Every structure is written in C-alpha cells, then in structure tokens.
C-alpha cells in the first residue's frame, strides 16, 4: 500500500510541478491516504532540519549549495511549504516510484510550531535553531510556548547546532544529553552596549535573576550572563568575527556576505558549522559560501524613474525581522524616504490584529536623515498612528490607504534614497514590475 500511495502522489506531483503549482499538495494527499506515510518513507543517511523565527529558508538554501558544491546528492524543501505536508512533498520528490530515497542528504526547514509534528515521524541527525523571538502573536501566543514545544520534540540522539548569542536558543541545551555545537559572533563595531528595544529574554532560566548583557548585536542576541553564574553565553568553538569590509572570519576561513545586514553572519555561520560537522572539508565550504548563486531574498536594489532605492522584505508580526530592516535603514547616512506597506497582516490567516506594531522600534526612524515616511495599504492610518507615538514629526508622514498606486508613489512622492519596507504581498508585486523593466 505504501508503494502505491507514493507512486500515485509522485505522479500528481510530476504534473503539478510541470505547471508550477501545488508544491505541498502531493504531501497533503499522501497524508490523507495514510497519516503515517512520512514515518514509513525511506530516509537518507543524513537529515538536517532548521527552525527559527528568521533565517530558515536562507540556511536551507545555503546548506544545499554547499552539498551541491561537494557533489553530494541533496534534497530540500526550498520550493515548498515548511509545514508537515511540505515536508512529505520533499521526501516524495526525492524518492523513486517504489519509495527508495535518491539523495544522501536532506535539508529541511521546519516551521517552529510544526517541529513537534514533523519529529513524530523521524529524528533528524542535525537540528539547527537559528533564533527564537516574538512572532505572529495571534498564532503562536508567547514564545515560551513555542520553546516548550520544540524542546519536548528533541531527543538526545539529535546533534544540536545552536546560535550561542540567543539565550532562548541556548536554553535548549540545558538538559540535552546529546552533542551540541555552537556558532556565534564576537563583539564588532556594529554591536551596542545598550538595548533600545524590547528584550525577549531578560531573566536567567535557572535562578530567574535578571541577565546582564555585556553587549548586543540586535534583538536579544549578544553576550549575556547570569549574575549568580547559573547561565551564560556558552563557549563557542566556531566564533565569527566581522571585518571592516563586511566579510567575516570563521574557523580561520574568510567568508563574503551578499549584503551588509548582520543576520547574514548567523545564516552563513550556521551553514558552515553544520556542513563541517557532517564531514565536508573546510575548503569546500569556503568555496561554496564565497560563490553562492542564491538570489538575495529580502534585499533588492531598484531604479524607477528618478527614484533609486532598496526593497526590504519585512515580515509582519515579527519584530526581530522588522527591526533589522529599521536598523539597516537608520544606519544609512543619506537623506531618505521610507515607505511602509502591506495589504494583509498575515499571509496565512485572516487577521486584523496590529498589536505587534507596538513591539517594533519605529523610534529608529526618528532622525534628521529621514525626510519622508509614506504609509501604504488599508492599514496605513494605523501605521501612521504608531509613528506618531514614536514622536516622529507628523509633517513627515503621509498615507495612501491603497497600495494600487505604489509605483507612482515611489516615482513621484519620494525624496533622497528610497527604502521600501514591504510585506510579501506588495514586495513581490513591486519586485516583479522592476524585473520586467518598468522605467
């Protein structure tokens, strides 16, 4: 029966992929026919899973390129969902009609809320947790709930690859009896001794004393320790150091970044450490990382008419991701216009909750180089109110309650360099127009 289900769903998958649709549909169908199909499917020798609030897709793609460079047969779910049906679909895609795996390594990003479901059916050899923070409040509730679900799903035979700079992530290692490898970033010129936003993790998980931070990178990421000595940033075997030219060194290897956003160090470091721990030579990993063919998903430059600027994919409901965009913009010295726009609060649910706006540090835009802030979409007035609470001069703020005219707004209503902070809906629409050569 298993072979019949796999063969049938692979046939469906073949036709759907031909027309460019339904990447998770074969997995949905397979689970309806047999809810335990994922448990029964043949698995490759090495399975690597990745989760976290941000960086999952990037790490999945980077790791896959490393294995391609090493001539290793690798499968991934870059084209599909990171929920359970998408995971089933990627195993289908990389199986023969009789269900035998065709790859040596599987690299799978898993939504943090679905780790508990996916890990019921197989145990990965390696599990990367890149970061954990407040995200999609209406779906996830408190981040401690997400942490508990992930922690309860991890068995001791999993090799954890953890971001040492995130105390919520390193907390996963407290009772883990299996192997743990850490990656992290040394203090750099971009680090700060003070935190201007809201910390997700403030207290020691053991004695509950307030954590002391020696410095911050962004969000809750930095160098932390408990005053009682019960909990601290762990010793990091693979610690990265940022160079002035926005390359970084790790394990005596110099790695290039595709843009200056600091989160790239973590995505690349996680990939480097994992590949090295799975037996890939450091020289091969270095070559792969310095010749990445991946397109930059969240940052794209453009020119429209006389306007020049940057598109930044900024995830709603995810303060850490959104604040990274704001920090990037605030550090650019030229006169600028910032455009903030989204048509939907959530890409997955029909939500109208905007409480997350007050977790975001819009105060970072309160400086003289920001000449205009344009709010786009049906929630433009709500965003404008939040900006006023950030003490931004109301004369700088304008609103358009529809995003239909976004191209004309960029062309005709902006001053200086333009930074567009768009959610998926507007981001990909504008990006498509730009790549089609709109002038």
User: What is the pLDDT confidence band of residue 12, given thresholds at 50, 70 and 90?
Assistant: confident
CA distances from 279 to 49, 72, 127, 183, 236 (A): 17, 11, 16, 17, 19
Are the CB atoms for 48 and 90 separated by under 8 Å? no
Residues facing 316 on adjacent strands: none
Q: Which residue has the higher pLDDT, 1 or 210?
A: 210
Q: What is the mean pLDDT of residues 358-377?
A: 94
Write down the domain spans for the chain. 2-289, 299-435
What ranges make up the beta strands (E) of 251-369?
Answer: 253-256, 299-304, 307-313, 336-341
Among 239, 240, 297, which Cα is nearest to 422's?
297
CA distance 23 to 90: 9
Q: What tokens appear for 147 in the block? A: 């942490």
State the Cα–Cα distance between residues 282 and 74, nearest whole angstrom.
Answer: 18
Q: What is the pLDDT of residue 81?
A: 85
The predicted pLDDT at position 65 comes to: 95
| Two structure tokens written together for 198 | 């809201």
Fold of 2-289: 3.40.1190
Question: What is the pTM (predicted TM-score) of this model?
Answer: 0.83
Q: Where are the beta strands (DSSP E) in 321-430?
A: 336-341, 370-376, 397-400, 417-422
To the question of domain 299-435 being in CATH 3.30.565.10, the answer is no
What is the DSSP secondary structure assignment for residue 22, as one 8-state letter? Answer: -
pLDDT (0 to 100) of residue 193: 84
439 pLDDT band, cuts 50/70/90, is very low
Proportion of the chain above pLDDT 90, given as a percent: 64
**Angle of the 25-33 helix axis to the 2-18 helix axis, nearest 10:** 160
pLDDT digits (tens, 9 = 90+) for 279-328: 999 999 999 999 886 544 456 888 888 899 999 988 888 887 788 889 88
- When computed from its CA atoms, the radius of gyration of the chain, rounded to whole angstroms, is 22
Distance CA 132, CA 112 (A): 9
Q: What is the Cα–Cα distance from 250 to 270, expressed in whole angstroms?
A: 11
Q: Is 157 in contact with 79 (CB distance < 8 Å)? A: no
Query: Which alpha helices (H) appear in 308-405, and where do they start and end?
Result: 319-330, 380-389
190-204, 245-259, 374-388: least confidently modelled range: 190-204
Among 34, 353, 382, 425, the active-site one is: 353
Respond yes or no: is residue 353 known to be catalytic: yes
Cα 340 from Cα 397, distance rounded (Å): 11
Comparing 2-289 with 299-435, is the CATH topology the same?
Answer: no
CB half-sphere exposure, 410, CA atoms < 13 A: 31
Q: How confident is the model at residue 261 (pLDDT cuts 50, 70, 90)?
A: confident
A 10 A CB-CB count for 48 gives: 28
Cα first-last separation, the chain: 56
Tens digits of residue pLDDT in 94-110:
999 888 999 999 999 99
Q: Is the pLDDT of residue 195 over 80?
A: no
Q: What percent of the chain has pLDDT over 70?
A: 93
Written as six digits, the tokens of 116 are 């508990």
Distance CA 288, CA 216 (A): 29
């Amino acid at each position: 029966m298993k072979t019949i289900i796999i063969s049938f769903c692979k046939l469906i998958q073949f036709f759907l992929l031909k027309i460019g649709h339904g990447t998770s549909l074969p997995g949905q169908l397979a689970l309806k026919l047999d809810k335990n199909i994922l448990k029964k499917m043949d698995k490759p020798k090495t399975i690597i899973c990745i989760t976290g609030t941000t960086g999952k897709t990037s790490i999945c793609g980077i790791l896959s390129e490393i294995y391609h460079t090493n001539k290793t047969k690798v499968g991934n779910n870059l084209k599909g969902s990171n929920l359970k049906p998408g995971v089933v679909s990627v195993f289908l895609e990389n199986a023969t009609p009789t269900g035998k795996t065709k790859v040596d390594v599987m690299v799978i990003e898993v939504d943090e809320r679905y780790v508990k479901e996916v890990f019921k059916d197989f145990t990965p050899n390696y599990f990367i947790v890149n970061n954990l923070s407040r995200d999609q409040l209406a779906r996830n509730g408190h981040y401690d709930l997400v942490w508990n679900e992930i922690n309860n799903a991890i068995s001791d035979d999993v090799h954890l690859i953890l971001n040492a700079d995130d105390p919520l992530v390193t907390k996963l290692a407290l009772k883990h009896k299996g192997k743990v490898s850490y990656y992290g970033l040394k203090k750099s010129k971009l680090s700060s001794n003070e935190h201007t936003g809201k910390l997700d993790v403030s207290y020691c998980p053991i004695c509950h004393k307030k954590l002391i931070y020696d410095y911050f990178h962004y969000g809750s990421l930095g160098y932390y320790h408990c005053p009682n000595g019960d909990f601290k940033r762990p010793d990091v075997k693979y610690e990265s150091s940022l160079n002035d030219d926005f390359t970084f060194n790790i394990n005596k290897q110099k790695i290039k970044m595709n843009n200056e956003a600091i989160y790239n160090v973590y995505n690349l470091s996680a990939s480097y450490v994992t590949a090295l721990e799975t037996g890939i030579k450091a020289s091969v990993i270095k070559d792969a990382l310095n010749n990445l063919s991946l397109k930059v998903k969240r940052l794209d430059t453009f020119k429209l008419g006389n306007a020049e600027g940057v598109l930044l994919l900024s995830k709603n409901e995810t303060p850490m991701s959104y604040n990274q965009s704001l920090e990037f913009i605030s550090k650019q010295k030229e006169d600028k216009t910032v455009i903030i726009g989204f048509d939907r609060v959530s890409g997955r649910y029909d939500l109208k909750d905007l409480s997350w706006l007050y977790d975001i540090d819009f105060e970072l835009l309160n400086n003289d180089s920001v000449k205009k802030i344009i709010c786009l979409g049906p929630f433009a007035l709500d965003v404008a109110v939040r900006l006023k609470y950030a003490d931004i001069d109301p004369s700088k703020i304008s609103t358009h309650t529809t995003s239909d005219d976004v191209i004309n707004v960029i062309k005709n209503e902006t001053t200086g360099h333009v930074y567009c902070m768009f959610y998926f809906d507007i981001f990909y629409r504008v990006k498509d127009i730009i790549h089609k050569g709109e002038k």
